[in-house]
Structures are given as structure tokens and as C-alpha cells.
Structure 1
Amino acid sequence: MKQFAQLFNTIDQSTKTTVKVTALADYFGAATDADRMWTIALFSGRRPKRAVTTTKLREWAAEQAGIPLWLFEESYSIVGDLAETIALVLPPVSTQTDGTLSHWIDHLRGLTDLDETARKTAVLAAWSHLGGTERFVFNKLITGGFRMGVSQKLMTRALAKSTGKPETELAHRLMGNWHPDTTEWADLIEAEDVSTDASRPYPFYLAHALDDGPHLLGPPSEWRAEWKWDGIRGQLILRDGQYFVWSRGEELMTDRFPELARTVDMLPPGTVLDGELLVWQANSQKPDNFNALQKRIGRKTVPKKLRTEAPVVLHAYDLLEWGGTDIRDRPFVQRRALLEQACAQLPPDAPVRLSPQLDIDGWEELAELRRGSRDENAEGVMIKRADSPYRIGRKKGDWWKWKLDPLTIDAVMIYAQSGHGRRANLFTDFTFAVWNGNDLVPFTKAYSGLTDAEFGEITKWVRKNTLQRFGPVRQVTPHHVFEIAFEGIQASPRHKSGVALRFPRMSRWRQDKPLQEANTLDDLNDMLRIYG
């Protein structure tokens, strides 16, 4: 664990990519195979399941530290991170155990089979043998909150530096449904043949945001345009008589979309499609909004009634594998031509549709189409260079997303809560309300969009204008108005306001606007009727 803790410190204390890559490469060159596998797993989101509730961890930590629970909770609200709070309040260790990362992960996973008394004993024993960063990392693992400033792209670069293998090959190897329990380092990283996993997806190619319009991209004839759909990005993989559905977040979602099983009989084996999963009713000219798709997202199994109410199709816009051959290096127009040929053979009721391209003669024409995106239940338009290969990750230059300007509404801040990590001493998480007659009705939360200086300024104000405290949350005097930007709005019986926003964030602190001029619940409901 010391070796991994040193890696953690190096990465956490540096903002330089070269430092992080070097530290990771050195670690991969020196660690055991088991530790290397778990490090890759942790950095790619494959964390052990949490075996102890945070409530119990707080109680046990307070007891072990010899302090009342209320004092621990007050400390937690100031520190802002549970793992760090526990590490700080516990007494120092007298004898530190030098177990490996994989040893302590096995220790954590073994807690699942124990009763509460035995779990407590095992956790206290670990705390008594781990100090410093090792204890902090252990706490991060046990709370399920282990995250680091390492992207999969950066980790892949470090693996390439350590092993001498190409980044593109390693990125593909790390995709798919592997786990340290069932996969060896040699099989995942060093083996020559990695094609045996039929479900393995390709790394997704991600577009950059286009903020100032496409006029500087060159002649429109060198580009292709299409709608940017508001769904779930996914890959449909057809191999060995089976189908697999992967989300952009590397989550295997096959069981959630059983409609796509029919594609095994409609498309040849060795086909991999990239597209958007959308709810699309039969005979409809456009997809349902994202609210309809949300009913399907959290379901591991989908009953027939829900499949009927919210039928899902894959709107395909790229072809990555054809006849078992990886064709990502071919120009986009060639891949698109093959995709069109494949989709032309599909029956009308197929759960795969060809995503149409927009026929434009100039950028102004595309701008006009973009302005009507919401009428198509789209978020804007995509612009792709005609000769671009299908790259890995977010490579700038070939793929652009030109999204619509967000919807906005002016709201009043009524609650504030401290942030986490480096912002633990600032109030950064706010609840906002709109007017309903003479009352303020809460309708959303937001925690991003302001500068550090603005967060510092509002933090000073919150401390001086707190009306009540509810644990880490403070009710404040209604005074400040913020412009809240969001991508969509939908009805929600779970919220007092009756609405829920998609991707809300603070776009402006309206210090120029008095409290009484904030928007109303009627304004929100008008937006719901238009855009919901």
C-alpha cells in the first residue's frame, strides 16, 4: 500500500501531465501484477463495492477517536471529505503494516461476508495498522469514493511508456467487461491476441465543443453535418451470434435494451455500430425527449409494458467494424457509405435506424437548421470532417459539437452547502428557488459555473447571513439572484416545484438584479410546456 500511496501523493500534488505519466509508468514497471491490475481497475472505475455504510464508519471513527459524534460531524462539515476526516481524527498508529494494495482490497471485499460486529473489528484493525496516506486511501476505498485526477487516456499513455505497446492498442485492450478477479495482467496487457473477447467495444471518439460557430473550419464541402441527438451514446456489437450494448461510460447495458437482440439476425457478424440510444415510437418522425429514455436507464431488466411505452432504437451514425475487420482508420465518408449500405437492408421495424445527415450548401444554412434543433428533440448539430478517421478520446480538430445555447432562468439562492476536496472550505453547492406568489419554491441545485473568486465572495456572505443550520446545509437570507443555465426541463412529481432541470449550473451571478425580479413558477411551467 505504501507504493500505491506514494503514487497517489505524486498525482494528487501535481497538475503536470508529464509528472503524472512518469509516476504511473514507474509504478507499472515496479508493482506486482495484482497491484498493477487493481490500479488499472481503480483508475477506470472498477472499484470494490462498498461493504460498510458511511453512517457506521462515522460512528466507529468517532468512537475510536474518543470524541462525540456531533464533534465528528462538525469536523466532517469543515473538512468536506469523509475519508480525510476519518484519517485526521483517528489516533496515530504505533505499528504500521506494509501490505500490498491488492491485500487491502481483498481485506475490504472480505467484509461483505461478515456480520456487523466482525466488520467493525476488521475495520478498526485496519485503521490501527495504516497511517498517513495509506489510511486515507483505505478510507477512500471503503467509502466507495475513490477518484483521482487521472483520465483513462493518461493512464493508457503511462502504460504505453511502461510496456512499449501502442496507445491505441492499449486503449482497446482496456475496454470491455474485464475484472482483476478473472483477468491476468499478461492476458490483458501482454498477450498478442486480444480478439477472444466477443463483447469488447472500441474506445469512443469524442467531439469538442464549438463555441464560435463553424466559419473558421474551412469550406463546408470538406465537412458532414448531422443532428446531435439527446440520448445515450452507445456501441452495438454483433459477434459470434451474440449482441452487446456498451455505453460511453464503459457500462455493459445489454440487458436494458432487449429490443436490439433482433439485430443479430439482421446484420452480419463482425459488425460494430456507434450511435445514439433513443426512445422512438413507431411511425414517429422524431425521438421522444430524454425524459422518456430516463425510465429505461436505471433498469437492469425491462418489463414488456415499459418496452411498449418506451421502445428504444439505436440511431447509428458510424461503423467501426465490418465483417470482423476494424475499419476505424478509413475516412468518415467511406465508413458512412458502408453504414448506409448496411442500414438499407434493414426491415422498416428494425431497432437500428440510420441517423440522417443534413444537406447544406453553406454554414449559414447549418446555423438556421441548428436554431430549430429543439423541434427535432436534438441538442444541436454535429460537424465531422469528411476524411477523418475514428480516433480515440477527445481529439481536437475533426469532430465538433455545436450545441444550442442553454435555456436560462433567474433564481434566488436559499440554501448553501460546503464543497469537497480543495473547495471544502468554500460554500459551492446551492439550492435555488423561484417565486410562487409571495413564496419562494425550491426547484433545483447547482454547484458549478462561478469562479474561485466568486465562490470566495459568496462564502463570506453565507457565513454572515445564515438563518438556520441543518447539518452541513445552511439556510440563508433570500437576497442573491443567479442566472441558472440548463439543457432541458421535464415534469417531476418528486420535486415540490413539479419540474426538474437537466444539467443545471450557474451561468451568472446577477448582482444587478433585485430579489423581486427573479423568475416565477409560472415561468418554469411555461418552459415546461414549450420544451418539456
Structure 2
Amino acid sequence: MKRFAKLFTTIDQSTKTNVKTAALAEYFAAAPDADRLWTIALFSGRRPKRAVTTTRLREWAAERAGIPLWLFEESYAIVGDLAETIALVLPPNTTQDDQSLSDWIAALREIYTQDEDARKAFVLSAWDRLGGAERFIFNKLITGGFRVGVSQKLMTRALARATDKPEAELAHRLMGNWHPDDTTWHALVEAEDASADASRPYPFYLAYGLEAEPQDLGAPEDWRAEWKWDGIRGQLILRDGQYFVWSRGEELMTDRFPELARALDFLPDGTVLDGELLVWPDDQPTPSSFNALQSRIGRKTVPKKLLTDAPVVLHAYDLLEWQGQDIRDLPFADRRATLERACADLPAQAPIRLSSQLPFADWDALAATRSDARDAQAEGVMLKRADSPYLAGRKKGDWWKWKLDPLTIDAVMIYAQSGSGRRANLFTDFTFAVWNGNELVPFTKAYSGLTDAEFRQITAWVRKNTLERFGPVRKVTPHHVFEIAFEGIARSPRHKSGVALRFPRMLRWRQDKPLQEANTLADLEEFLRIYG
């Protein structure tokens, strides 16, 4: 655990990629196999289940620290992170511990089945034996809230440095439905047949946002264009007579889209498609909004009525594997040609549609097409160089997303909540409202878009202008106006305002704008009429 705590501290305290990569590579080169395997699992979101409720942890921590529970709760509200609060209020550890990370995780998972007295004895013993960063990490693990700022790309780069294996191969190995319970370090990272899992997807190729003019990309004939759809990016894998659906976030979503099983009837075994999952009824010229797709996302089982009301198709725009052969190294134009041949004779009942290419003679013509994206239920245009291979991760140069400018509305901040991690001492999560007559009606939350300096400034203001407290949330004096950017809007009976925004974020702090000039609920309704 000491070795892992040192690694975590180095990563958590640095913003430099080279420092994080070097620390990870050093760790992967020296740590025991079981610890290396669990480190990859933890850093990729495969956390142990919560073993103890946060209510009990707060009670036990206050008891061990010899302070009343109300004082612990006040401290928690200031610190903003439960694991850190517990680590700070507890007395210094009385003994030392040399157990490994994997030993601690095994012990944590074992108490999951024990009664509350046994759990309490284990937790108190652990607090006595662990100190500093080790105690903090233990608290994170036991609450199921362990997270760290390490991207998959950074981790594969460090593994490549430690193992001398290619990054692309390691990225492929780490994807898929694996867990430390059903694999080993050798099988996952070192063995020659580590990629034999039929369900394993390929690492997704991610595009950069186009901020300059498209003319800077060169000759338009070197590029291909298509809509940037507003759905869920996914891979449909057909192998060994089975189908698998993976999201870009490496989540296996097969059971949520049973209609895609019909793809086995129309495409050969050994096919992997990259595309967008969209709700698209047969009688509609364009896909439904993302709001329709949300009804499918959280479902582990899908009732027949929902399958009928919100039918999902894969809008395919790339072909990664064909007849069992990995073709990612081929130019995009060649992969696209094969994809078009594969989809040429698909019947209407097939759950796959070919994403159309957008013809354009010059960049001005494409700009004119892009301006109609919202009418097509798209977010903008994708640009792909015709000779580009399918790479892993976010690479600049060959794939660009040219999104429409976001919709915006001016709103009043009425609630504030502390952030997490390095921003735990700052108020970063805000609730915003618009006017409905003389009343402010909350309609969205946002937590990104400001600089650290602006967050510090608004935090100081929140502390001086709090009207009420509701746990970690503070109601503040209505005063500040923010310009909120968003990608889409939909009707939502779950919200008091009656609307829900897609990807809301703070575009800028309108310190120049008085409170009374914020937008109204009627303005939101007009957005809904036009774009909903």
C-alpha cells in the first residue's frame, strides 16, 4: 500500500504528463503482479463495491476522533470530500502496516459479507494501522469512490515504457470486459493471446475540435465529411456468432440494445463497426433527439413497448474489422468503400444504417451544409482525411469535429456546492435559474467553464452571501448572472422549469449584466419550440 500511496500522491500533486508517466512506468516495472493488475483496474474505473455506508463511516470517524458528529459534519462541509475529512480528523496512526494494495482490497471485499460489528472493528483497525495518503486511499476504496486523474492513453504510455510493448497493442489489451477476478497480469499484459477475447473492442479514435477555419486544412478533395450525430458513440462487434455493443467510455451495453442482435443475420462473422447509436423510427427522416435515447441508456432490461417506441439503430461510419481481419491501418477511403459494399444490400429491418457522406465542392459549400446541422438532429460536421488510418485515442491532424456554435442563455446563480479532488475547497457546482414573472425558476446545473481564479473569486463571494445551508449545498443571494452554453434542449417533466439542457456549461461570468436582465422561462420555451 505504501508503494501505491506514493504513486497516487505523485500523480495527484502533479499536472505534468511526463511526471505522471514516469511515476506510473516506475511503479509498473517494480510492483508485484497482483498490485500492478489492481492498479490498472482502479485507474480504469474497476473499483470494489462500497463495503460500508457513508453514514456509518462518519459516525465511526467522529467517535474515534473524539468529536461530536455535528462538528464532523461541519468539517465535511468545509473540506468537501469525505475520505479526506476522515483522514484529517482521525488521530495519528498508532502502528505501521506493510500489507500490499491487493491484500487490502481482498480484505475490503471480504468484510462486505460480514455483520456491522465486524466491519466496524476492521475499519477502526485499518485507521490505526494506516496513516497519511494510505489512510486517505483506504477511505476512498471503502466508500467505492476512488478516482484519479489518469487517462487510458497516459496509462498505456507508461505500460509501454515499462514492458517494451507497443502502445496500440496495450490499449487493445486493456479494453474489454475484464476484471482482476478473472485474469492475471500475465494474461492481460504479457501473454501472446491476450487479445483473443471475442467481445474485446478496439480503442476508439477520437477527433479534436476544429477551432480554426477549415481552409487551413488544405485542399477539400483530400477530406471526407459527414454529420456529427448527437447519440452514443459505439462499436458493434460480431464475433463467434455473438454480438457485443461497447460505448466509447468502455462500457459493455449489449443488454440495453437487444435489437442489434439482428445484425448477425446480415453481416459476416468477424465484423466490427464504429458508429453512433441513435433512436431512429422507420417513419422519420431524421433521428430522434438525444432525450429519446436517454430512456434506453439506464435500462438493463428493455420492455417491448420501449423497443417499439424508441427503436435504436447503429449509424455506421467506419469499419475496423472485416471477415476477421483488422483493417484499421487501411486508409479511411478504403475502409469506407468496404463499409459501403457491406451495407449495400441491407434490408430495411436490419438494425444498421450507413451514415451518409456530405458532398461539398469547397469549404464554403460545406459551411452552408453545416449551418443546417440542427435540422438533421446533428451537432455539426465531422471531417476525416481520406488517407487516414484508424488510430487509438485522440490524435491531432486527421480527424476533426466542426461543431455548431452552442446555444446560450443568461441565467442567475441561486445555489452553490463544493467541488471534489483538488477543488474540494472551492465552490464549483452551481444551480442556475431564469425569471418567470418575479420568480426565479431553477432549470439547470453547471460546473465547468470558469478559470481557477474565477472559481476562487466566486467561492469568496458565496461564503459571504450564503442565505441557507442544505448539507453541502448553499443557497445564495441572487446576484450573479452567467452565460450558459448548451448543445440541445428537451421537454422534461422531472424539472420544475419543464426543460432539460444537453451539456450545459458556463461560457462566461456576466459581471457586466444586472440581475434583472437575465433570460426568462418564456425564452427557454422559445428555444424548445425551435430546437426541441
TM tier, smaller: over 0.9
1:80, CA displacement in angstroms?
A: 1.5
1:247-292: CA deviation from partner (whole Å, max 9, x where unpaired):
0011111111000111112100010000000001013211000000
Do the aligned residues in 2 keep the contact of 1:224 with 1:357 (CA within 8 Å)? yes
Partner of 2:493: 493
Aligned residue type for 2:178: W
1:313-371: CA deviation from partner (whole Å, max 9, x where unpaired):
00000000001010000000000000000001211221001000001101111111111
Aligned residue type for 1:363: W
- Give the secondary-structure state (helix, strand or coil) at the position aligned to 1:357: coil
| Counterpart-to-counterpart distance in 2, 1:35 and 1:129 | 19
1:450, CA displacement in angstroms?
A: 1.2
Aligned residue type for 1:403: K
Partner of 2:77: 77
1:412, CA displacement in angstroms?
A: 0.8
Do the aligned residues in 1 keep the contact of 2:484 with 2:508 (CA within 8 Å)? yes
Partner of 1:454: 454
| Counterpart-to-counterpart distance in 2, 1:150 and 1:227 | 31
Higher deviation after alignment, 124-133 or 98-107: 124-133
Pair 1:411-2:411 in alignment: yes
- Give the secondary-structure state (helix, strand or coil) at the position aligned to 1:335: helix
Pair 1:122-2:138 in alignment: no
- Give the secondary-structure state (helix, strand or coil) at the position aligned to 1:113: coil
Higher deviation after alignment, 373-382 or 458-467: 458-467
| Counterpart-to-counterpart distance in 2, 1:144 and 1:322 | 40
1:74-104: CA deviation from partner (whole Å, max 9, x where unpaired):
1111112111111111111111221110011
Aligned residue type for 1:274: D
Partner of 1:162: 162
Do the aligned residues in 2 keep the contact of 1:482 with 1:510 (CA within 8 Å)? yes
Pair 1:184-2:181 in alignment: no
Aligned residue type for 1:220: P
Do the aligned residues in 1 keep the contact of 2:173 with 2:195 (CA within 8 Å)? no
| Counterpart-to-counterpart distance in 2, 1:239 and 1:314 | 17
Do the aligned residues in 2 keep the contact of 1:213 with 1:402 (CA within 8 Å)? no
Segments of 4+ in structure 1 off by > 4 A?
Answer: none
Aligned residue type for 2:77: S
1:212, CA displacement in angstroms?
A: 2.6
Aligned residue type for 1:343: C
Aligned residue type for 1:351: P
Aligned residue type for 1:370: R
| Counterpart-to-counterpart distance in 2, 1:181 and 1:421 | 29
Partner of 1:49: 49
| Counterpart-to-counterpart distance in 1, 2:81 and 2:202 | 35
Partner of 1:518: 518
Partner of 1:105: 105
Partner of 2:199: 199
- TM-score, normalised by the number of residues in structure 2: 0.98
| Counterpart-to-counterpart distance in 1, 2:465 and 2:94 | 45
Partner of 2:431: 431
Pair 1:318-2:309 in alignment: no
Residue identity over aligned pairs, in percent, reads 79
- Give the secondary-structure state (helix, strand or coil) at the position aligned to 2:249: coil
1:155, CA displacement in angstroms?
A: 0.8
- Give the secondary-structure state (helix, strand or coil) at the position aligned to 2:475: strand
| Counterpart-to-counterpart distance in 2, 1:240 and 1:473 | 51
| Counterpart-to-counterpart distance in 2, 1:45 and 1:120 | 26
Higher deviation after alignment, 274-283 or 138-147: 138-147
| Counterpart-to-counterpart distance in 2, 1:136 and 1:464 | 30
Partner of 1:22: 22
- Give the secondary-structure state (helix, strand or coil) at the position aligned to 1:425: coil
- Give the secondary-structure state (helix, strand or coil) at the position aligned to 2:206: coil
1:444, CA displacement in angstroms?
A: 1.0
- TM-score, normalised by the number of residues in structure 1: 0.98
Aligned residue type for 2:268: P
| Counterpart-to-counterpart distance in 2, 1:515 and 1:91 | 47
- Give the secondary-structure state (helix, strand or coil) at the position aligned to 1:137: helix
| Counterpart-to-counterpart distance in 1, 2:493 and 2:60 | 37
1:14, CA displacement in angstroms?
A: 2.0
- Give the secondary-structure state (helix, strand or coil) at the position aligned to 1:411: strand
Partner of 1:243: 243
| Counterpart-to-counterpart distance in 1, 2:460 and 2:87 | 28
- State how 1:116-155 maps to structure 2 within 5 Å: 116-155=116-155
- Give the secondary-structure state (helix, strand or coil) at the position aligned to 1:102: helix
- Give the secondary-structure state (helix, strand or coil) at the position aligned to 2:416: strand
| Counterpart-to-counterpart distance in 2, 1:444 and 1:307 | 29
- Give the secondary-structure state (helix, strand or coil) at the position aligned to 1:494: coil
| Counterpart-to-counterpart distance in 1, 2:472 and 2:242 | 49
Aligned residue type for 1:99: Q
| Counterpart-to-counterpart distance in 2, 1:463 and 1:197 | 53
| Counterpart-to-counterpart distance in 1, 2:9 and 2:280 | 48
Higher deviation after alignment, 461-470 or 124-133: 461-470
1:385-426: CA deviation from partner (whole Å, max 9, x where unpaired):
000000000000000001111111111111122222222222
| Counterpart-to-counterpart distance in 2, 1:15 and 1:505 | 23
Aligned residue type for 1:2: K
Q: Could you tell me which runs of 5 or more consecutive residues in structure 1 were left unpaired when the two chains were aligned.
A: none
1:176-230: CA deviation from partner (whole Å, max 9, x where unpaired):
1111111011111111123421101000000000123311000110000000000
Partner of 1:227: 227
1:107-137: CA deviation from partner (whole Å, max 9, x where unpaired):
1112221122222222222112111111111
- Give the secondary-structure state (helix, strand or coil) at the position aligned to 1:345: coil
Partner of 1:39: 39
Aligned residue type for 2:80: G
1:230-261: CA deviation from partner (whole Å, max 9, x where unpaired):
00000000011110000001111111100011
Q: Could you tell me which runs of 5 or more consecutive residues in structure 2 were left unpaired when the two chains were aligned.
A: none
Partner of 2:347: 347
Pair 1:379-2:410 in alignment: no
| Counterpart-to-counterpart distance in 2, 1:418 and 1:131 | 25
Do the aligned residues in 1 keep the contact of 2:80 with 2:472 (CA within 8 Å)? no
Aligned residue type for 1:241: G
Partner of 2:87: 87
| Counterpart-to-counterpart distance in 2, 1:458 and 1:193 | 54
| Counterpart-to-counterpart distance in 2, 1:26 and 1:460 | 40
Aligned residue type for 2:139: N
Higher deviation after alignment, 463-472 or 228-237: 463-472
Aligned residue type for 1:219: A
- Give the secondary-structure state (helix, strand or coil) at the position aligned to 2:394: coil
Do the aligned residues in 1 keep the contact of 2:172 with 2:195 (CA within 8 Å)? no
| Counterpart-to-counterpart distance in 2, 1:424 and 1:198 | 42
